[in-house]
Chain A
C-alpha cells in the first residue's frame, strides 16, 4: 500500500447507536472501506454521561470498523452534537486601504480576523466558524473579493461554540482508543452536506437531521451554511411519549413507534387496533392505531414548531426556496415530510445519499456518518494549504512521537 494513502476514521457517537467508518483517502479520492456499529450506551442527547460505557461501545464500533477495513485508523473525524452547542453571528467591516480602492489580501485577512474575534463566555470553546459571503459596498460577492474595487468590505461568521467539558469528554473517548481527533465536525454540517445538492445550497435549503436524542439542522444560503443549531427533541421523545401514553416499556414503545408510528394521523377508524408484537404470544397486547398516530404526530408537529421557533427570522419560505431535506433515523417515520411541510410552510422531502454511497450505508441513519467522513476530508483539504505541505518524513516522525 502506498504511503500516501491515509486511513481516516469517522465516528458519530449518537444517542441510539455509535457508528464508525474507515475511509481510505488517496489525496484525490475517498473510499469507504470499513464500517462498524454498536448500540450506544452512556450517551444522552448527544452528550457523554457515562464515560466507561460510552468508551466501551465507541471502541467496539472502532474495532469492528478496523477489522472490516483490514487497516489501522490513523486519525478520527468526530461528529459533534448536543444541546450545549450554540451559535451566534458576528460581522465586521473595514475600509479598503489602497488608494485605488482595490481590495487586497491584507484587507480580507483583517476583516476576517475582526469578524472571528468575538469573545466567548467562560467555559465555552469554538467548535466551528462558518464564513458567510463577503460584501463589497453592500453587494454580495460569492467568491474571494481580492482585486475587486470598493470602499467598504464586510464579512460575517456564524460561530458555533460548545461547553468545554462536553467537548473534552467526546474527544477523550476517542483518545481512550489511542487515536487522535483530527477534526470536530458538526453533525448538522456532515448530514446536510451529504443530502443536499450544491444548487439547493445556493438557492437556500434547510437540512434537518432527526436522530434519537437530538435534531440537528443547518440552513444554507448562497451556497454556505447560514445558521446551524441543535434541538433537544428527537426520536427518543416519541418513544418516551408512547411509553407514557400507552403504559409500555421503552423497548415496547420503540417497537410500536417503528411499526405503527406516523408523523401525521392517517387512521380514520378510531376502533382500529394493532397488535404490539403480532405473534399473539403471552404479553402481546392490542393498541388503538389512532392513539399511536396521535401521540407520534403531536410530538413530531411540536418538533418542527420548536425548530421553526429556534430558526426565527433566519428562516422564511422566501429565503428557503429549495425547501427542507430530512435525514436521520427518525426521518423514516411515515408522513414526516408532509408534517414538516405543513409546519414550516415550505416543501419537504427525504434526503438521499449520493449514488456512490454503498447500499448498506444508504439508510438515513448513516447519512451523518458518511457525510462526516466526506465533509471532514473536504473541509480539511480546503482549510489550509499549509496542511498539504505537511506529511513528509519529519511530519511522520513528529506524529509518531506525539501519539505516544
Chain B
C-alpha cells in the first residue's frame, strides 16, 4: 500500500487541491480581476496603515502634552480676542487681565493659567477660554452683579469702596456705571475676614439681597431712600436694619415675608404723612403682624446716628 493511499478518504477531499494558479494560466479578464483585487487589498492595507499611524501620532502627541501637537495653528500668533459676557467688563479689561505675550500663538497659551487670571478678579463668577483655530482666543465669562457696597479700611490706609454680590463675595468692581453704583446702599455691621489675600464672602447676604431686590421691585420710591443696611443683628436676631437718607430706621425680620414687611412700612409711612405732626423715626417690622413699634419725634435712633445736617456717615468696615 502506498503512503498516499494510507490517508483516510475524508482527508483527501477535492478541497485539498490548492486553488492558486500562476498568472500565466489566467485569462486577460482574470488578470484584470487580479489587479483590481490587488489594488483593493493595497487600498485596504494603506487605509489600515493610515489609521494606525494617525492613532499612533495622536497617542504620542497626547502623551507629550498640547505643545507637542504640530499644526498650522502653532505658527500663527493670536490675532483676535473675543469676549462673551453677561455683564459690564469689556475687551480692554480682558486684554489687560490676560496680558498675553506678543506674538504668542494659540498653542503657546496655557488655558488653565489664563482662566485663573480671569477668576482672580472676583467680579468674574465663572470663565471658559477656548482656542478657535487658526488665531482666535474666545473667552466666555459670567459676572457677579453688585447688590450693595461697602467701605473698607485696611490698616491706616484710606478707606476703599468695594461691591458686594448676592452670594456675599466682596470685590472691587470694574466697568460699572457710577450713577448706578450711587443707588446701591452701604453695608454696615459686617465683620470682614481676609484670607489668602481675599475677603471671605459675607454670610447672610442672600437674605439682604432678597430684601433689596424686593424693595427695588415693589417699592422703588422707598428703596431710593435707603442709605445704609446694617447686618449687625442678622446673625444673632435675624434682623436687617435699614437707615434711610431722611433719618428713618427700619428693622426687617428675616423670618417674615419681605414683601409684606415692605407693604406694611409703606402703609405706616403713608398713614404718618396723612396724619401730619412728628415724623416717624423708627419702625420695627421684625415682630408679628399685630405689633409694629413705631417711634415718632426727633429723639429716634436715626437722629442719634445723624450729623444734624441731614448727611449720614458712611460706615467703615475694618478687616479682622
B14 touches A178 (CB 8 A): no
B21 touches A176 (CB 8 A): yes
In the complex with contacts A116-B9, A119-B8, A400-B40, A176-B14 CB distance below 8 A: no
Q: Within the assembled complex, what's the spacing in Å between the Cα atoms of A172 and B34?
A: 14
A56 touches B14 (CB 8 A): no
Q: What are 23 residue pairs bridging A and B, where the CB atoms are less than 8 Å apart in the complex?
A: A55-B27, A56-B27, A59-B27, A113-B10, A116-B8, A116-B9, A119-B1, A119-B6, A119-B9, A122-B5, A126-B10, A126-B14, A159-B9, A162-B14, A168-B17, A175-B19, A175-B20, A176-B26, A177-B27, A177-B33, A178-B31, A397-B44, A404-B41
In the bound complex, residues from chain A placing their C-beta under 8 Å from that of B318 are: none
Residue in A closest to B24 when the chains form the complex, CB atoms: A176
Please classify how large the interface on chain A is, using the bins under 10, 10 to 19, 20 to 34, 35 or more.
Answer: 35 or more
In the bound complex, residues from chain B placing their C-beta under 8 Å from that of A403 are: 37
Which of A62, A116, A162, A400 contacts B41 (CB under 8 A)?
A400
Kindly state whether residue B307 has any CB partner on chain A within 8 Å: no
Q: Within the assembled complex, what's the spacing in Å between the Cα atoms of A168 and B17?
A: 6
A404 touches B25 (CB 8 A): no
Q: Within the assembled complex, what's the spacing in Å between the Cα atoms of A81 and B9?
A: 20
A177 touches B5 (CB 8 A): no
Kindly state whether residue B309 has any CB partner on chain A within 8 Å: no
Q: Within the assembled complex, what's the spacing in Å between the Cα atoms of A90 and B27?
A: 41
B residues 91-130 touching A (CB-CB < 8 Å) = none
In the bound complex, residues from chain A placing their C-beta under 8 Å from that of B16 are: 125
Interface majority SS (helix, strand, loop, mixed), chain B = helix
Kindly state whether residue B12 has any CB partner on chain A within 8 Å: yes
Q: Within the assembled complex, what's the spacing in Å between the Cα atoms of A378 and B5?
A: 32
Q: With both chains docked as a complex, state the minimum distance between the C-beta of A169 and any C-beta of chain B, in angstroms.
A: 10
Q: With both chains docked as a complex, state the minimum distance between the C-beta of B14 and any C-beta of chain A, in angstroms.
A: 5
Q: With both chains docked as a complex, state the minimum distance between the C-beta of A73 and any C-beta of chain B, in angstroms.
A: 10
Q: Within the assembled complex, what's the spacing in Å between the Cα atoms of A403 and B37?
A: 8
Which of A63, A113, A127, A180 contacts B14 (CB under 8 A)?
A127
In the complex with contacts A63-B29, A167-B14, A177-B33, A117-B4 CB distance below 8 A: no
In the bound complex, residues from chain A placing their C-beta under 8 Å from that of B38 are: 404
Kindly state whether residue B291 has any CB partner on chain A within 8 Å: no
In the bound complex, residues from chain A placing their C-beta under 8 Å from that of B21 are: 172, 175-176
In the bound complex, residues from chain A placing their C-beta under 8 Å from that of B4 are: 122-123
Kindly state whether residue A118 has any CB partner on chain B within 8 Å: yes
| Interface residue total, chain B, C-beta cutoff 8 A | 30
Kindly state whether residue A356 has any CB partner on chain B within 8 Å: no
Q: Within the assembled complex, what's the spacing in Å between the Cα atoms of A162 and B29?
A: 29
Kindly state whether residue A367 has any CB partner on chain B within 8 Å: no
Q: Within the assembled complex, what's the spacing in Å between the Cα atoms of A20 and B280?
A: 112
Kindly state whether residue B180 has any CB partner on chain A within 8 Å: no
B residues 213-234 touching A (CB-CB < 8 Å) = none
Q: Within the assembled complex, what's the spacing in Å between the Cα atoms of A62 and B21?
A: 18
Kindly state whether residue B13 has any CB partner on chain A within 8 Å: yes
Q: With both chains docked as a complex, state the minimum distance between the C-beta of B61 and any C-beta of chain A, in angstroms.
A: 29
Q: With both chains docked as a complex, state the minimum distance between the C-beta of B212 and any C-beta of chain A, in angstroms.
A: 67
In the complex with contacts A59-B27, A171-B17, A178-B12 CB distance below 8 A: no
B27 touches A176 (CB 8 A): yes
Beyond A113-B10, A125-B12, list 16 extra A-B contacts (CB 8 Å): A59-B27, A119-B8, A121-B5, A129-B10, A159-B9, A171-B19, A172-B19, A172-B21, A177-B27, A177-B29, A177-B30, A179-B33, A397-B44, A403-B37, A404-B37, A404-B38
Kindly state whether residue B2 has any CB partner on chain A within 8 Å: yes
Which of B8, B17, B26 contacts A178 (CB under 8 A)?
B26
A residues 282-324 touching B (CB-CB < 8 Å) = none
A178 touches B37 (CB 8 A): yes
B5 touches A117 (CB 8 A): no
Kindly state whether residue A184 has any CB partner on chain B within 8 Å: yes
In the bound complex, residues from chain A placing their C-beta under 8 Å from that of B13 are: 125-127
In the bound complex, residues from chain B placing their C-beta under 8 Å from that of A62 are: 29
Which of B12, B17, B31, B37 has the most chain A CB atoms inside 10 A of its CB? B17
Kindly state whether residue A181 has any CB partner on chain B within 8 Å: yes
Q: Within the assembled complex, what's the spacing in Å between the Cα atoms of A116 and B44?
A: 42
In the bound complex, residues from chain B placing their C-beta under 8 Å from that of A56 are: 27
A177 touches B26 (CB 8 A): yes
B5 touches A120 (CB 8 A): yes
In the bound complex, residues from chain B placing their C-beta under 8 Å from that of A63 are: 29
Kindly state whether residue B7 has any CB partner on chain A within 8 Å: yes
Kindly state whether residue A137 has any CB partner on chain B within 8 Å: no
B33 touches A178 (CB 8 A): yes
In the complex with contacts A126-B13, A171-B14, A404-B37, A51-B25 CB distance below 8 A: yes
Q: Within the assembled complex, what's the spacing in Å between the Cα atoms of A162 and B12?
A: 11
In the complex with contacts A171-B19, A175-B21, A401-B14 CB distance below 8 A: no
In the complex with contacts A176-B26, A176-B30, A178-B33, A119-B10 CB distance below 8 A: no
Q: Within the assembled complex, what's the spacing in Å between the Cα atoms of A51 and B26?
A: 10
Interface bits A88-132 vs B (CB < 8 Å: 1, else 0): 000000000000000000000000010011111111111101000
Which of A119, A162, A164 has the most chain B CB atoms inside 10 A of its CB? A119
A176 touches B41 (CB 8 A): no
